[in-house]
Structure 1
Amino acid sequence: MSQYKLIIFDFDGTLAITHKAIVFCITKTFEKFQIAPPASSTIRSTIGMNLAHTFKILAPAIDETQIPVWIETYRSYYRTEGEKQLELFPGTKTILQLASQSGLSLGVFSNKQVNFVNLFLDKFKIHSFFDLIVGDNGEITQKPDSTVFDSILKPLFPDLDNSHVLVVGDTAVDLLFAKNAGIDACWAAYGYGDRTECLGLQPRFVINNISELDRIIQDK
């Protein structure tokens, strides 16, 4: 039996393959404003950050007052074209079924807009596995800040000790969130995070594909 009772998953690069959609939509956004887009590798390096921070990094010359317009343009492309390019990592549904059947509670905490997260979980037919979905709604404090854990997650599971909670994510943002919250982290090395940076944060576990979570769920 696993020591963990609650697993909190990131979305991009952990449950779903999203880099094609993200690179496509950011590129289209730059083209919309007639600015040469960054290289795909540069865009990928920002996955996991919130969009405001992403555009500050990728387009430092634009006026900060224009960032909300860029964000809405990006989301418009994502709604109409980007979502067609998303897919689950192989084995995702199987591992969620195993975790659910093992009696674990499951959640998603993403810096992505919560409406998109719910839409894609429904699209992939995995929404029912999750007890809670948290994403950007314009009000929450995003990762790596631990406020969501303290103000939303802990009250929902008041009897759960921090030692029984595991974060699974692919970037330093996820691992820092876990560290700030005082909970264990599992680095999804198959995602989009920088290896040196993520290993430097000393996650308790490292998995090279999502199916390897079975050894943690079943405490093999």
Structure 2
Amino acid sequence: MRLKLVIFDVDGTLVDSQDLIVEAMRMAFEGQGLLPPSRTDTLGIVGLSLDVAIFKLFPEGEPDLRARLVDGYKAGYMHHRAAVGAAKSSPFFDGAYQMLARLHARDDVLLGIATGKSRRGVDKLIEGHELRGMFVTTQVADDHPSKPHPSMIETAIAETGVTKADTVMIGDTSYDMDMAAAAGVHGIGVAWGYHPVADLGKAHTVVNDFEALQRALDTLWERQS
């Protein structure tokens, strides 16, 4: 049996955590007496590792100030998530869970995660959405250079033993599609996330909903069979 590896980004792809992210960034900047970035600018850095994201938002800040912003974001994120719960603060997009369940039920498909979230954040999300056992490989910001470096995908491939040709990366940002291209795997962009579709230029295809995503995967696998 030829195994296939489907790697998902998390924020903006599987779950809609934009309100949580924007609120945590607001708290971080205001906690240092700074004007928070706009909602558009904040959502533009989703997918990057946090230290890289803060630098992109505030490159003129001194390193120690940016470090305090990182800590402030983490504190604000955890506070808001604890107040409402992981599942409510980062709800699934319509059709996301059903898509994961269908793929997980297949003997020839392995599921993975590649995200700019921390290990703790991913663990809380998996617990909150009752996804234990769903993913065989989870690659997080703690262990890798920030996207679009291909390290996350390359490690997921090494852990599962699946070939690059049988690996697909699914995400909503240019960082996801650039990472897929850098790793030499098929990239599928999703139109419902945080980057404009125009920014997903390196995607092999862009889909508008999870049913279209399923069709794109089926077409790809039929062509490869």
Q: Same-fold call, TM > 0.5? A: yes
1:32 and 2:31 aligned: yes
For 1:1-220, list aligned pairs within 5 A: 5-82=4-81, 84=84, 85-103=89-107, 104-137=109-142, 139-150=143-154, 152-158=155-161, 160-198=162-200, 200-201=201-202, 203-219=203-219
4+ runs deviating over 3 angstroms: 216-220
TM-score, normalised via structure 1 length: 0.89
Specify whether residues 19 and 4 from structure 1 end up closer, same or farther in structure 2 by C-alpha distance, changes over 3 A only: farther
Cα root mean square deviation, aligned: 2.0
Q: Do the aligned residues in 2 keep the contact of 1:92 with 1:210 (CA within 8 Å)?
A: yes
User: Using the alignment, how far apart are the partners of 2:103 and 2:216 within structure 1?
Assistant: 10
| Aligned mates of 1:218, 1:38 — CA distance in 2 | 40
Task: Report the 3-state secondary structure (helix = DSSP H, G, I; strand = E; otherwise coil) of the residue aligned with 2:20.
Answer: helix
2:45–2:53 contact (8 Å) kept in structure 1: yes
Using the alignment, how far apart are the partners of 1:62 and 1:217 within structure 2? 43
8 Å contact kept, 1:9–1:167 = yes
For residue 73 of structure 1, report the CA deviation from its aligned partner: 1.3
Q: Indicate the SS of the match to 2:45.
A: coil
Q: How many residues are treated as equivalent by the alignment?
A: 214
Deviation by residue 1:96-118 (Cα, 9 ceiling, x = unmatched): 11101222100001011111011
Tell me if the contact between 1:93 and 1:126 (Cα under 8 Å) persists in the aligned partners: no
AA in 2 matched with 1:123 = G
TM-score normalized with structure 2 length = 0.87
Between 1:41-50 and 1:172-181, the stretch displaced more is 41-50
Q: How many Å separate the matches in 2 of 1:161 and 1:146?
A: 15
Q: Aligned equivalents of 1:156 and 1:183: distance in 2? A: 16
Gaps of 5+ in 1: none
Deviations, residues 173-202 of structure 1 (Å, cap 9, x unaligned): 00011000100000011101132221x22x
Secondary structure at the aligned position of 2:140 is classed as strand
Q: 2:183, 2:61 → 1: CA distance?
A: 34
Indicate if the aligned counterparts of 2:111 and 2:134 stay in contact, CA closer than 8 A: yes
Identify unmatched segments of 5+ residues in structure 2: none
Identity %: 22
